[in-house]
Structure 1
Amino acid sequence: MKSRQNFCLELDWNLLKIFYGIVGANGVSSAANVLWRKQSTLSLALQRLEKQLGKTLCHRGPAGFELTDEGRILYECVSEVYAKFDRIPDNLDNASRDLRGRLRLCTISNFIDAKFDKLLVAYSTLCPLVELQIKVAPWETISRAVLRNEIDVGITAVHTKYKELRYEFLTREVHLVYCGKRHHLFGTSVGSVEALSDEPLILTGADEPDTLAHYRLRHGLGKRIAASTPNLEEAKRLAVLGLGICLLPERMAAVDVKKGTLHPLTPKSLGTGCDIYAISNKHAPKRLVTEIFMEEVGRRLKRTEQILPDEKAETS
């Protein structure tokens, strides 16, 4: 047998897996069918293992397959290892439940998404002792804050993807042009966005992602600025008051549309939108609170490309 020093490092663990499968199938011939391997390949692997250990592990012949004393000892050891490996997922789950600390999360303002809400609930269930520290910031500052390790996870629209950051798609946020009940266009729908170019616009300033700025400028919106604010909630309030038209997230405006205080002037076919991502820093010091959150995002929220026809034209 090899020297006990560095034994684990030098041992070929794949040979142990094959040995475990052969014993479980009670022979090389049966194991070939179970493991989808050639019988000759399994026999060779068994011989290599015996050579590495310097022991005969089994006898094969007309009487059948039978383990030697050394083979039985090895099988018991390998079985214990398999049992411990099987417990790894449960142990990791229990570790997350005992995890303590703080997850620093920064999100764009008024981000409304049912899937994201479920994600927060799922994370809180997985890590009930972790404190969620959530703050709101303009979209363009969030990526830089993640790069500087000022926050652990950012929820934001993305203009430029940095190689240092990890991106997990969350959802597509659809934006439409809205007006309040006092506006002269309330209750109508336009056939083109350009038809609204002369209407006074409520501008969201620093909280306006690039995709929305490109959409607005391409269609001539904002020739006249009625008001500007970096706060989406304030922009919506001004639109409700009838001061002008405003580009707002569809989910954010839904309650006011239902109440009859806001009305979408553009149908979805003329709307625009931006992709929202969860982002983290690949090179930040490893923190389990962050890793578990991002893994939960990747597991629950698989990206589905849903580019609106208008967006296809915009990016072409």
Structure 2
Amino acid sequence: MDLRPAPPPPERLARNLDWNLLRTFLVLAEARSITDAADRLGLKQPTVSAALKRLETHLGKRLIERGPGRFELTAAGKLLQREAIDIHGSVLRLGTLIRDVSDEVRGHVRIAMASHVVCPVFDAALAAFHSAHPHATLSVDVAASKDGLAAVLGRRASLGVCLVHDKSPRLEYRRLYREFFGLFCGPGHPLFGKTGLTKADLVGLPSVSFVTDRMSDALRPVTLMRAEARLEDRVVGTSAHLEEVRRMIIAGLGIGPLPVHVVRRDIEDGLLWQLPPYDQVPAIDVHVVWNPKAAMNRAESALLEELLARIEATPIEERTYL
């Protein structure tokens, strides 16, 4: 027989629930054990254990199954984690929203950016935004696209400029631009400078790539291109940052994929050499992503509006770079 108390009425739960319990639970949900969570929070293990028990008592549900070699969220725990992420994001933003109340648009915009985004439409939107709202501030955090999307979902970032594989129903997306990836080698590579090459010349050669170059991730078309070239299965080096993949290619670690329009200058300067396939290279879309449930400050809303207006006004042909 389940002797745990029945879930309390919503009004009483909202009145009695301590926000600090939810904050502690979010850390627990990402931890490997109560001891691990206590270390992350800088608290003692019994304190964290007691907080979890109080939260489970408040909700009348077991949230984490724990025992020897077992520490995992229950169905109720997974649901609470999703909702608590939203609540946490809203609490974090309260100070910014209150501080931003004035006639002049102020506030801070945090952008989660994929590595080395080259897009004149985006640059023009930033310039127009700063010109119209000089007292607003910006920060750009470069990260792997999956981490940027997680930051937008968790309301730790105002918006993202990311590659997208599976679209979350909790986020909104607009395609910012389309780019095309080719395969390249550096000056020290045996194929550098050679013409008349075919994909057969690439068979079995070592490669480097992005961490998202996987069948289950955003660069799936690039993965297929590498597979069709029959490069060596083992990838010598990976990075989430385009600059580091470029560095490894130039240094001669292996053949690797890069956006053609981004490395045009490197090709002209003799730092990179494009390899087959030359036709039907994979197209990758880069999106602007935001959380429609996030309470944006005025600066965030202004920049998003500027971006969306420019995307709408610019045909996709002019936002396609090869």
- Name the TM-score, length of structure 2 as normaliser: 0.59
Cα separation, partners in 2 of 1:243 and 1:268, compared to 1, 3 Å: same
Q: Distance in 1 between matches of 2:212 and 2:104?
A: 40
Q: Show the counterpart of 2:219.
A: 210
What letter corresponds to residue 285 of structure 1 in structure 2? A
For 1:256, give the aligned amino acid.
D
Does residue 1:227 correspond to 2:237, yes or no?
Answer: yes
What is residue 115 of structure 1 aligned with on the other side? Answer: 121
Aligned residues: 212
1:242 aligns with 2:249: no
Q: Does 2:299 match 1:293? A: no
Return the index of the structure with the highest Cα Rg.
1
Q: Does 1:139 align with 2:145?
A: yes
Partner residue, 1:273:
283
Matched letter for residue 125 of structure 1: S
Aligned residues of 2:163 and 2:287 also touching (Cα < 8 A):
yes
Relative to 1, partners in 2 of residues 1:115 and 1:193: Cα closer, same or farther, differing over 3 Å? Answer: farther
Listed one character per residue, the Cα deviations across residues 204-223 of structure 1 (whole Å, up to 9, x for unaligned) are 22577333234333543342
Aligned partner (choices 157, 179, 187) of residue 173 of structure 1: 179
Letter in 1 for 2:175: F
**Cα–Cα, structure 1 residues 213 and 97, in superposed 2: closer, same or farther, change >3 Å?**
farther
C-alpha distance in 2, partners of 1:292/1:121?
12
Give SS of 1:269's match.
coil
Secondary structure of the residue aligned to 2:295 is coil
Query: How far is the alpha carbon of 1:141 from its aligned partner?
Result: 1.5
Note the C-alpha offset of 1:199: 1.5
2:287 and 2:196 map into 1 onto residues whose CA distance is: 31
Q: Residues 116-169 of structure 1: CA distance to partner in whole angstroms, max 9, x if unpaired?
A: 211211111122111011110101121121111010110001111122212122
CA distance in 1 between partners of 2:130 and 2:166 (Å): 30
Instruction: Verify: 1:196 aligned to 2:202, yes or no.
Output: yes
Paired letter, 1:134: V
SS at match of 2:172: strand
Question: 1:130 — aligned with what?
Answer: 136
| 2:122 aligned partner, one-letter code | F
What is aligned with 1:10? none
Structure 1 CA distance for aligned equivalents of residues 165 and 127 of structure 2: 28
Q: Aligned pair in 2 of structure 1 residues 216, 96: CA closer, same or farther (>3 Å)?
A: farther
Deviation at 1:190, TM superposition (A): 6.1
- Unpaired runs of 5+ in structure 2? 1-100, 318-322
What's the C-alpha RMSD, in Å, of the aligned pairs?
Answer: 2.6
Contact 1:97 1:126 in 2 (8 A): no
Structure with more helix by fraction: 1
What's the CA shift for 1:297? 1.5
